[in-house]
Structure 1
């Protein structure tokens, strides 16, 4: 998930940074947004997950389903949409595929979903020179708030009255733990993310969110922790490692994403045999693809 920075002001997004094919103007996706509530007395909720998604995995998708179930049984919200927001190329993270590839992979992964969408806003955000510009998480949430509540006018309630949708961040426990580390996040951004909007956090094995939450006590009413009943530790990093070793990644990520990676030969440059030899740190427990010595 993307880390926070001090908000540098809203920048008008330009066209997608595509290497091939026609460039299209940015349009906020609304095709799966539930424009009218079906549950009386509840507050409309839009979940936003910011991250690299390089590539997107089943865990990223599963987070939304877990959050949706939690919201349904434990809160006074009604989920009206879920959005994936791939980070800008300016994030400069190791293993980061080009923004348009990550947007396309995410789009294929949610193609059959009735409520999940991909917003390319971060990937098309550029500075005055046309260079990719990092978008702080606080600004991303403001963007969704503006598009849904200002531009669209909110969500229609069961009584026919327009209501302001609650925008909230959806993230893994590692993100909230980083928020608890002094000096890592801008206090101003934290006030926006957790104070103005809030976060639904998926608890993962091996992480202790209690310590992080203790330092974020002033936002405790805006943080919802969701236990991961079925453990899933598949990450984009592990998927890239499998690709590096020329191993199958089927059933780790959605089939349409596997096909997209094959079609565009993604991650081959970074993890090709000539450019990045396997190291001791790249081992996969219980598996070796080395060839037996001749004898």
Structure 2
């Protein structure tokens, strides 16, 4: 498959790819460098979103030959059709507060958020281009070059939508699951094994991660709590809760949803976590 080049992507104004926490030197030269990318609404970001990265980190360390060199949250554009979707500026800020201020290795990439709707397949291509082409990938301590593997991190509710006819296009599924692959974290109420039955052709690139401690916190429930005047402390990072309170967010239900441009129909495969 052809390698993406600069002309294949449009960037938001004044955009710079965040890589301040991206490790460029492998600790173990026998491992394959890996970057995890979570795409979603993050309206708002919750502890479960952040916990997914930690669960994946444990799984990867114990069960694979990968070495994580970075993790990214990629909030969707305002053009993504979603009930309760707050402006990209608020969502990127909350992700930054929740991830970068509470983690030592997670970053927030605003590339997807501040432009037209982008399919998940294209978002992963963007990360691959920025990390492997622009930044030159990773290296071993003795200077050997290594391409960084980019993989999607998602909840099992997302993998369920990939099994539903008409929700995703086959080319996008093949690009995401065939070229990149995914780590799927179990979510309450979603059957991982059943969800992956129709995706068997990509099974080698789909890693299933069980929840050892059940957690069914979702952005949808958080928004409902706020509208009802209930506390959401300890469901979200404290600084995210304070940001929501200071800005009066989610006090009213938003019935309007931005439209996806006609050139990117919803059935082409949005790839966004439906619980976000």
Range of TM-score over shorter length? 0.7 to 0.9
Name the SS for the 2:67 alignment partner.
strand
Q: Is the 8 A contact 1:47 1:170 kept in 2?
A: yes
202-211 or 192-201, which moves further after superposition? 202-211
Of 247, 250, 260, the match for 1:264: 247
Give how far 1:207 is off.
1.5
Query: What's the offset of the Cα at 1:10?
Result: 4.3
Matched residue SS, 1:29 = coil
The structure 2 residue matched to 1:198, chosen from 181, 188, 194, is 181
**In 2, Cα distance between equivalents of 1:12 and 1:119:** 14
Match of 1:66 in 2: 55
Moved over 4 A (4+): none
Q: Is structure 2 residue 170 aligned with structure 1 residue 173? A: no
Alignment check: 8 A CA contact 2:9 2:126 kept: no
- 1:116 equivalent in structure 2: 106
Number of the residue aligned with 2:146:
163
Asked which structure has the greater RCO (Cα within 8 Å, sep 6+), the reply is 2
- Deviations for 1:124-177, whole angstroms, at most 9, x for unmatched residues? 12xxxxxxx111000000000000000001011233111100000000001111
Give me the whole-angstrom Cα distance separating, in 1, the residues matched to 2:102 and 2:94.
13
Q: How much does 1:269 deviate?
A: 4.0
Distance apart, 1:92 and its partner CA: 2.3
The higher radius of gyration belongs to 1
**Distance in 2 separating the partners of 1:158 and 1:225:** 31
* Partner residue of 1:86 out of 72, 75, 81: 75
Contact 1:10 1:139 in 2 (8 A): no
Question: What SS class does the counterpart of residue 53 from structure 2 fall into?
Answer: helix
What does residue 32 of structure 1 align with?
A: 21
Structure 1 unaligned regions, length at least 5? 1-8, 16-24, 126-132, 273-295
Structure 1 segment 87-106 matched on structure 2, within 5 A: 87-106=76-95
RMSD of aligned Cα (Å): 1.6
In structure 2, stretches of 5+ residues that fail to align are 1-6, 256-276
Measure how far apart 1:46 and its partner are: 0.1
Q: Distance in 1 between matches of 2:35 and 2:196?
A: 23
CA contact (8 A) 2:153 2:183 kept: yes
SS state of the match for residue 123, structure 1? coil
TM-fit CA distance, 1:204: 2.1
TM-score (norm 1): 0.82
Q: Distance in 1 between matches of 2:73 and 2:132?
A: 18
